[in-house]
Amino acid sequence: MIEPLRLSYEIACAPEHAFEVWTTRVSTWWPKGHSVSGNPETCVVLEPRPGGRIFERTPDGTEIDWGEITLWNPPRRLGYLWYIKRDRNDATDVELTFVDLGDGTTRLEIVHTGWERLGAEGPAWRDANTSGWSALLPHFVAAAEG
Amino acid sequence: MNASAPAGDPFEALGDPNRRAIVEMLGSRGRSVGELADALPISRPAVSRHLRLLKEAGLVVEEAQGTRRIYSLHDQGVEAVESYLTQVWGDAVTRFRLLAENTRPTKRAKGSKRA
């Protein structure tokens, strides 16, 4: 098992609102240019429901899949397969938890796992190296860029 | 610690899908230009150009093995890439946070549970 990438952020709003912004306004906050097409006019769509698709729609209407919602538990937890710029078989898993800290503050915890699912290169990656290279791989992208 | 500061920006170097593919391939072992070109939909000169950029960014090192030149990942560059990933998430979350903190809930989120 490859070490998950774990990130944590505090957001000054209630979990309900944070969850809604994350899931219904992704096109507004997603960094421009972090897309497969690289076109700044690209629209990012997240279908807010279990099994919903996450994809980009370019100005000419082409849709390119980035992921698929696997866990839909508003306003606390959200999980999706993530394969922006990759084959779906190489998808990694992103899980978000919106923790209510009270006082209208939310802690957003992001856990990104599944690095071992990198197709043929996976086992090699796992063994490849010492400096935690494994944690990064497909994800340049991600957030990528994701 | 013999590496001088890289001249290129590793984040920029990874902004290209072919260069990311090269970095991914080098993750398992060192390879020659020819091996990389065979596996990628781009020409050898194009692979060489990408490798030069990756070298300048401190992500890749080059060594001679007989008559061949073998390219492999540079450990310190890899650490830079790890922090790059963290930064990418951070960029997205920074923008998300700005929006979330400066907007008001318009309605109950669709499908949200009753408190």
Looking up residue B33, the CATH number of its domain turns out to be 1.10.10.10
B52 inside domain: yes
Tell me what pLDDT residue B10 has.
Answer: 62
How high is the pLDDT of residue A53? 97
> Is residue A97 pLDDT above 90, yes or no?
yes
Average pLDDT over residues B90-110: 79
Listed ranges A85-94, A95-104, B18-27; the one with the highest mean pLDDT: A95-104
User: Is residue A81 one of the residues assigned to a domain?
Assistant: yes
Q: Is residue B29 part of a domain?
A: yes
pLDDT of B73 reads: 82
Q: Is residue A145 part of a domain?
A: no
Say whether residue B12 is in contact with chain A using an 8 A CB cutoff: no
Residue-level pLDDT at B35: 94
**Tens digit of pLDDT for each residue in B41-78?**
999 999 999 999 988 877 888 999 998 999 988 766 55
Measure Cα distances from A49 to A20, A33, A62, A90 in Å.
Answer: 12, 25, 22, 22
- The pLDDT assigned to A55 comes to 95
Residue B46: φ, ψ to 5° = -65, -40
A124:B27 CB<8 A: yes
Contact status, residue A71 vs residue A48, Cβ threshold 8 Å:
no
In a domain, A67, yes or no: yes
Assign residue A36 the CATH number of its domain.
3.30.530.20
Highest averaged pLDDT of the listed ranges A25-29, A110-114, B4-8: A25-29
The answer, for A144 touching chain B at a CB cutoff of 8 Å, is yes
| Structural domain for A22, as ranges | 5-139
Residues of A in contact with B105 (CB under 8 A): 14, 16-17, 20
Percent of chain B at pLDDT exceeding 90: 27
Overall number of domains in chain A: 1
B35 within a domain of the structure (yes/no): yes
Count how many domains chain B has: 1
For residues B61-77, one letter each, b for 16 or more C-beta atoms within 10 angstroms of the residue's C-beta and e for the rest, the string is: beeeeeeeebbebbebb
Q: Is B62 part of any domain?
A: yes
**Residue A59 covered by a domain:** yes
Candidates B97, B102, B104: best to mutate against A (most CBs of A within 10 A) is: B97
* Predicted-assembly ipTM surpassing the 0.85 threshold: no
Question: Which residues form the domain of B68?
Answer: 10-101
Taking the CA of residue A104 and the nearest CA in chain B, the distance in Å comes to 10
Asked if the Cβ–Cβ distance from B100 to A13 is below 8 Å, we say: yes
In a domain, A146, yes or no: no
Residues of B in Cβ contact (< 8 Å) with A49: 111
B2 within domain boundaries: no
